[in-house]
Chains A and B, each alone.
Chain A
Amino acid sequence: MKARPAVWLTWGALAFFMLNLAGIVGAVVTNSFAESWFGTWLPDGYTGKWYGEAWRDYRLLDVLVVTFQVAIAVVVISVLIGVPTAYALARRNFPGKKLLNVLFLLPILMPPMTYGIPLATVLYKFHLAGSMAGVIAANLVPAVPFVVLTMTPFIEQIDTKIEAAARMCGANTVAIFTRVLAPLLVPGILAASILVLVRTVGMFELTFLTAGPTSQTLVVSLYEAMSSAGIRPQQMVDSMAVIYTGSMLLLLVIALRFVNPTQLVTRLKEPA
């Protein structure tokens, strides 16, 4: 097969992009291990002390605990609300369904800032801002619609005849949910949970707008650390950024085990 220039151009551009990306990540990782690094190709010496200092100074354990609590709460609540909603929206046609569909799409389509600022205002009004509850509430706004969106194809692929068969066997609605639908939806719920987890840990704007000093998640305290970088060495911020990216990478690797990224749009195949 003769090499076509278009192919080489594509791979070439991709390689260039990747090379720059590697440089960007490499620069941060290198700096996080650097004794000091000013205006040279490589740092003068290497040390791991910045990680320890960042861990202590930024109280990363507390931050990670908060991040974890917020993320788990958001996942659990959004699945509990989102799955029944997705079911009703997938299975019934009723007056007002279109409106509800749009309402569940808007929080994903809107930049978080646009509803984040009014939401923060409302939360301040009810004295919820700054608390963990406020952060969780704010993060639920895009998370619930995201669960609805992710679950819909999973629900649609379950043959309605299976539910009809369960009804004919005498199962009531609760039994259909617990005995038939829930076991069949486990892969979908797992996928949605993991994706919501990744999104919540990475969600900056909403947490930033609603968090107080004790309810900051990792991504927000990272931003705060960088904004006030003058006080502490750059390397500490960088080592914290590496910790953040490391945990996100871990989550993503787990997520990719459960979700095939190319099947996010096309219908998901029947679970085996």
Chain B
Amino acid sequence: MTGQRFAELHLDHVRRAFGDTLALKGMDLTIKGGEFVALLGPSGCGKSTALNCLAGLLPLTGGRITLDSRRIDDLPPEKRGFGMVFQNYALFPHMSVRRNIGFGLSMRKTPKAELTRRVDEAVRLVQLEEHQHKFPAQLSGGQQQRVAIARAIVLEPPLVLMDEPLSNLDAALRLEMRTEIRRLHQSLGLTTVYVTHDQEEALALADRLVVLRLGEVQQVGSPEEVYAHPVNRYVAGFMGYRNMIPVTVTAQDDERATVRADGVELVGVKREELADHAVAAVRPEDFAVVTEAGENTLDATVEIVEYHGREQAVEARLRDGTQLHVRTNSRLAPGDAIRLKVPVERVLVFS
């Protein structure tokens, strides 16, 4: 099975309002055929709105969507021919697995023989041969998930839309299905738009990430780009920079910024034009517990220690009261005075 490929899907200033609030404030995005794009952001960022607009389930307030320069945003969902996997799967409870999967084909009046063949193929693809005559209520969450995916891809749609498909599964199953989705995408090459609030999932699956916040696109890029080079403090926070230390800027050039935090000088990578006050973003795992004084070190007191197996998650506090999250192999106890060192390239300074 290969999808009917298109060259380019274009979102042109797509807006969507709910009452007076803009859930999507003019989204521009180009999706190339065969790509796996993840829309990433917390709840309320507009990612599901964007997906539903693409599907045609939500009318646009403004803007347009074009598929290879053909305007599609005024087509009803059933005429767009996209596949969709819903968060709660939305399987038809009164139909067997096979009839669920074959529903779209029968809507298209596919001849019986071809329908049987293609449903067989889809059932095999998601490994549901043993369960194909059962009803959704008799299946586990993971199996229902497979049915939902099979139902979406059996039509070989030009675009597959996935709305947080893994969020209802438990942690182990989520990892397994994640691999499954990646495998299906690699073997079928179906263009996919995937909505999630889980940065790890997005990084693992997507060719390209779109980070959204309050209805606005923050950053678009490959997983490596977004992970290593977040463009602002919001994206950084979402990519695991849990420490946002308030600092005053003492010097800056094109690449570096020297800042003062808790009475100590820190040097970091300058990511934006800076005024006097800024934040220094550091990942918990980039701190190293050291003994001797030196450049880029902070003194802190350990407050809470959580045991995580190989590592410890530590909450420590600077003298000025700023709280720090640290992950370390060193064995620490509450009350310990520690010195934390962080490499210059691992400190990102945002305005």
Min CB distance A175 to B, Å, is 6
Known A165-B151, A272-B137; contact A170-B81, beta-carbon cutoff 8 A: yes
* Contact yes or no, A171 B78, CB < 8 A: yes
Taking a contact as CB atoms closer than 8 A, the residue among A161, A162, A164, A169 that contacts B104 in the complex is A169
- Interface assignment of B84: CB less than 8 Å from any CB of chain A: yes
Residue of B nearest to A180 (CB): B92
- Interface assignment of A172: CB less than 8 Å from any CB of chain B: yes
A224 to B200 alpha-carbon distance, docked (Å): 78
Min CB distance A153 to B, Å, is 17
- Interface assignment of A159: CB less than 8 Å from any CB of chain B: yes
Taking a contact as CB atoms closer than 8 A, the residue among B77, B82, B86, B108 that contacts A161 in the complex is B86
Chain A residues with Cβ below 8 Å from B137 are 272
* Contact yes or no, B78 A167, CB < 8 A: yes
Min CB distance B338 to A, Å, is 50
A171 to B56 alpha-carbon distance, docked (Å): 13
- Interface assignment of B152: CB less than 8 Å from any CB of chain A: yes
Best-surrounded residue of A162, A167, A168, A179 (most CB of chain B within 10 A): A168
Taking a contact as CB atoms closer than 8 A, the residue among B55, B87, B108, B161 that contacts A170 in the complex is B108
How many residues in B have their beta carbons less than 8 Å from beta carbons of A?
27
A272 to B137 alpha-carbon distance, docked (Å): 8
A170 to B155 alpha-carbon distance, docked (Å): 10
Chain B residues with Cβ below 8 Å from A184 are 93-94
Min CB distance B294 to A, Å, is 57
Taking a contact as CB atoms closer than 8 A, the residue among A165, A168, A170, A172 that contacts B92 in the complex is A165
* Contact yes or no, B83 A168, CB < 8 A: yes
Known A159-B88, A183-B94; contact A164-B78, beta-carbon cutoff 8 A: no
A271 to B155 alpha-carbon distance, docked (Å): 29
* Contact yes or no, A170 B90, CB < 8 A: no
* Contact yes or no, A164 B103, CB < 8 A: no
Residues of A17-36 contacting chain B, CB below 8 A: none
Min CB distance A164 to B, Å, is 5
* Contact yes or no, B90 A171, CB < 8 A: no
* Contact yes or no, A168 B78, CB < 8 A: yes
- Interface assignment of B62: CB less than 8 Å from any CB of chain A: no
Residue of A nearest to B52 (CB): A164
A179 to B82 alpha-carbon distance, docked (Å): 20
A12 to B145 alpha-carbon distance, docked (Å): 56
* Contact yes or no, A164 B90, CB < 8 A: yes
Residues of A176-210 contacting chain B, CB below 8 A: 179-180, 183-184
Chain B residues with Cβ below 8 Å from A167 are 56-57, 76-78
Which 7 A-B residue pairs are closest in the complex by CB-CB distance?
A169-B104, A161-B90, A165-B90, A170-B107, A168-B84, A167-B77, A183-B94
Q: Give the A-binding residues of B (Cβ under 8 A).
A: 55-57, 76-78, 81-84, 86-88, 90-94, 103-104, 107-108, 137, 151-152, 155, 161
18 A-B pairs (CB sep. < 8 Å): A159-B88, A161-B86, A161-B88, A162-B91, A164-B55, A165-B84, A165-B86, A165-B90, A165-B151, A167-B56, A167-B77, A169-B78, A170-B107, A170-B108, A180-B92, A184-B93, A184-B94, A271-B93
